[in-house]
């Protein structure tokens, strides 16, 4: 592929003299989407810029043919849809899902966890991440803080992204752990506690006693820090007493970086699953991917990495509830609504495992997918991924018609693999369904690696999915 050059000041990548737009959009989402809240907010901003009209989740909807809409319930879930001009209810509904969350560390309530002069924070693991990849990396923090807005007498949700390195999870040196390179299990409650700074000169007798890991000494250094950060970002004074609660996570402070001798690779945090989120939003906002009939919809969910069992997750009633409201607003009878589901097509977009060339024996010997192979159609007879022979054939023909490389891929038979939104959603919405995504190396590492060309292929494939005029 042509050389992609990095322009440091603009944080943009250019392919020769023209913009590599799909890769640039993904890089911007990675930079801004440092928490599920911020991912959903950035997706919402892109939809607004494309002219989508916001609907309030708990209010009456009056939908019109030929219009674009979105709804953002609970701040970390978002559903956007297009009611195409010739929609009748007897045409095909097409749905594309992805998730906005990524594995990592989340800050607990009452997070101050000092040890002598060390200021630490109590944190918990979220999802199945590769623990040791989070060690010795500068970490930022983002999410939401809920404050008591005394001017109106109700809680106010403040989005917060500190946009700088704040914490680090220190490893033991090799001198103190001689076997560390042979592999050692990390304890989430002991080894992955973030160091937030030092309290030199502020020790008290209570927190400097010998052989005391944690005493009754309390210093509200974290709440004080949050109050300062909120005051600075919101431009108004917030006292620590005004902070009621928060939902904050840590993230690796690293922008996406183009690498490889020909600039063909992208190494970045949160590629699972922001690569799919950006491709889905791009497909929905692209005017050239619009067909004349049917309903086109993207659903971005939270909590996929921990099982999807929440009001924001794919295992709840959020999507069926929304689809039924759309049908009702467009005047569909109950029978007509159910027919739109029966004849629909669902794609779950989530990252796939690329063959690691250093450990190829960990992958299926005949269907392993590599970086640069294009779109992965994820297959499993055990239905770990949604799909069957008929849906896979439809997707292969769609890819061939649009000259998009794709490959059927299986997990090795003696390795369980992970789960996706595909089986969860298809069990609630009985329609043709399949799982797709781009191949990644080191999935659930603090830094994952992908091929730039695969993002281009995924974006092209999802646009074809929405634009195909004939029934899939």
| CATH number of the domain encompassing residue 460 | 3.40.630.10
Residues 411 and 439 in one domain: yes
Torsion sign across C-alpha atoms 152, 247, 72, 343? negative
**Within a domain: 257:** no
**Within a domain: 258:** no
User: What burial class does residue 151 get, using C-beta atoms within 10 Å of its C-beta: 0-12 exposed, 13-18 middle, 19+ buried?
Assistant: exposed
Mention every residue, 6+ apart, whose C-beta is less than 8 A from residue 374.
Answer: 399, 404, 405, 406, 407, 453, 454, 457
Among 139, 136, 70, 74, smallest CA distance to 101 is for: 74
- The whole domain housing 46 covers 4-102+269-467
C-beta separation of 26 from 274 below 8 A: yes
Residues 306 and 166 in one domain: no
**Within a domain: 59:** yes
Residues 97 and 111 in one domain: no
pLDDT for 393 equals: 96
Domain C-terminal end among 220, 252, 284? 252
Residue 357, phi then psi, degrees to nearest 5? -65, -20
Residue-by-residue DSSP string for 199-256: -TT---GGGS-TT-SS-S----HHHHHHHHHHHHHHTS---GGGEEEEEEEEEE----
Distance, CA of 186 to chain centre: 25
Rounded to whole angstroms, the Cα distance separating 62 from 55 reads 9
Domain C-terminal end among 196, 223, 252? 252
Residue 297, phi then psi, degrees to nearest 5? -145, 140
Number of C-beta neighbours around residue 424 at 10 A? 23
C-beta separation of 294 from 326 below 8 A: no
Residues 383 and 304 in one domain: yes
**Within a domain: 264:** no
Any idea what the Cα angle at residue 374 is, between residues 390 and 285, rounded to 5°?
A: 85
* Distance from the first to the final alpha carbon of the chain: 31
Please give the tally of structural domains in the chain.
2
pLDDT for 217 equals: 54
Residues 308 and 421 in one domain: yes
Residues 299 and 393 in one domain: yes
pLDDT for 218 equals: 66
**Within a domain: 262:** no
- Helices 452-467 and 389-401, interaxial angle, to 10°? 100
Distance, CA of 460 to chain centre: 20
Residues 206 and 234 in one domain: yes
pLDDT for 223 equals: 96
Domain containing 193 — which CATH number?
2.30.250.10
Rounded to whole angstroms, the Cα distance separating 81 from 330 reads 13
C-beta separation of 144 from 159 below 8 A: yes
Domain C-terminal end among 224, 252, 280? 252
C-beta separation of 200 from 117 below 8 A: yes
**Sheet architecture: strand order including 265-268:** 257-259, 265-268, 448-451
Number of C-beta neighbours around residue 175 at 10 A? 7
pLDDT for 20 equals: 86
**Each residue's pLDDT expressed in tens, for the chain with a length of 472 residues:** 333 343 443 444 444 333 489 999 999 999 999 999 999 999 999 999 999 999 999 999 999 999 999 999 999 999 999 999 999 999 999 999 999 999 999 999 999 999 999 999 999 999 999 999 999 999 999 999 999 987 777 899 999 999 999 999 999 998 988 888 887 788 999 999 999 999 876 654 444 444 444 544 568 999 999 999 999 988 888 999 999 999 999 999 999 999 999 999 999 999 999 999 999 999 999 988 889 999 999 999 999 999 999 999 999 999 999 999 999 999 999 999 999 999 999 999 999 999 999 999 999 999 999 999 999 999 999 999 999 999 999 999 999 999 999 999 999 999 988 889 999 999 999 999 999 999 999 999 999 999 999 999 999 999 999 999 989 9
Secondary structure (3-state) at 342: helix
pLDDT for 3 equals: 37
Residues 49 and 62 in one domain: yes
C-beta separation of 141 from 121 below 8 A: no
C-beta separation of 135 from 128 below 8 A: no
């Amino acid at each position: 592929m042509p050389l992609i050059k990095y322009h440091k000041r603009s944080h943009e990548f250019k392919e020769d003299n023209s913009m590599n737009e799909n890769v640039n959009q993904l890089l911007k989402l990675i930079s801004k989407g440092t928490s599920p809240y911020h991912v959903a907010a950035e997706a919402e901003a892109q939809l607004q810029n494309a002219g989508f009209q916001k609907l309030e989740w708990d209010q009456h909807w009056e939908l019109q043919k030929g219009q674009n809409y979105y709804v953002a319930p609970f701040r970390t879930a978002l559903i956007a849809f297009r009611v195409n001009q010739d929609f009748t209810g007897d045409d095909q509904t097409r749905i594309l899902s992805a998730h906005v969350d990524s594995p990592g560390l989340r800050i607990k309530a009452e997070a101050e966890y000092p040890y002598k002069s060390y200021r630490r924070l109590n944190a918990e693991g979220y999802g199945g991440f590769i623990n040791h990849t989070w060690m010795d990396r500068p970490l930022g923090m983002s999410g939401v803080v809920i404050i008591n807005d005394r001017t109106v007498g109700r809680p106010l949700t403040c989005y917060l992204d500190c946009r700088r390195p704040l914490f680090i999870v220190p490893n033991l040196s090799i001198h103190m752990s001689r076997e560390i390179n042979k592999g050692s299990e990390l304890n989430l409650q002991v080894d992955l506690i973030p160091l937030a700074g030092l309290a030199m000169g502020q020790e008290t007798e209570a927190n400097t006693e010998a052989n005391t890991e944690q005493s009754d000494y309390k210093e509200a250094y974290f709440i004080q820090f949050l109050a300062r950060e909120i005051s600075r970002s919101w431009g108004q004074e917030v006292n620590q007493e005004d902070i009621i609660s928060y939902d904050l996570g840590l993230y690796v402070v690293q922008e996406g970086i183009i690498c490889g001798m020909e600039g063909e690779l992208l190494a970045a945090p949160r590629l699972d699953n922001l690569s799919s989120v950006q491709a889905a939003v791009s497909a929905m906002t692209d005017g050239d991917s619009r067909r004349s009939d049917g309903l086109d919809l993207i659903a971005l969910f939270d909590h996929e990495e921990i099982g999807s069992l929440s009001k924001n997750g794919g295992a709840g009633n959020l999507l069926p509830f929304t689809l039924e409201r759309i049908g009702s607003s467009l005047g569909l009878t109950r029978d007509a609504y159910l027919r739109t589901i029966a004849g629909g097509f669902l794609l779950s977009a989530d990252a796939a495992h690329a063959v690691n060339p250093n450990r190829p024996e960990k992958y299926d010997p005949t269907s392993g997918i590599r970086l640069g192979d294009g779109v992965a159609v994820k297959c499993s007879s055990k239905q770990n991924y949604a799909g069957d022979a008929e849906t896979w054939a439809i997707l292969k023909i769609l890819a061939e018609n649009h000259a998009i490389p794709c490959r059927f891929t299986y997990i090795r038979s003696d390795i369980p693999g992970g789960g996706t939104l595909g089986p969860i959603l298809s069990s609630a919405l009985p329609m043709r369904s399949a799982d797709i995504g781009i191949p990644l190396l080191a999935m659930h590492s603090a830094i994952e690696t992908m091929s730039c060309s695969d993002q281009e292929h995924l974006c092209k494939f999802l646009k074809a999915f929405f634009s195909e005029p004939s029934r899939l």
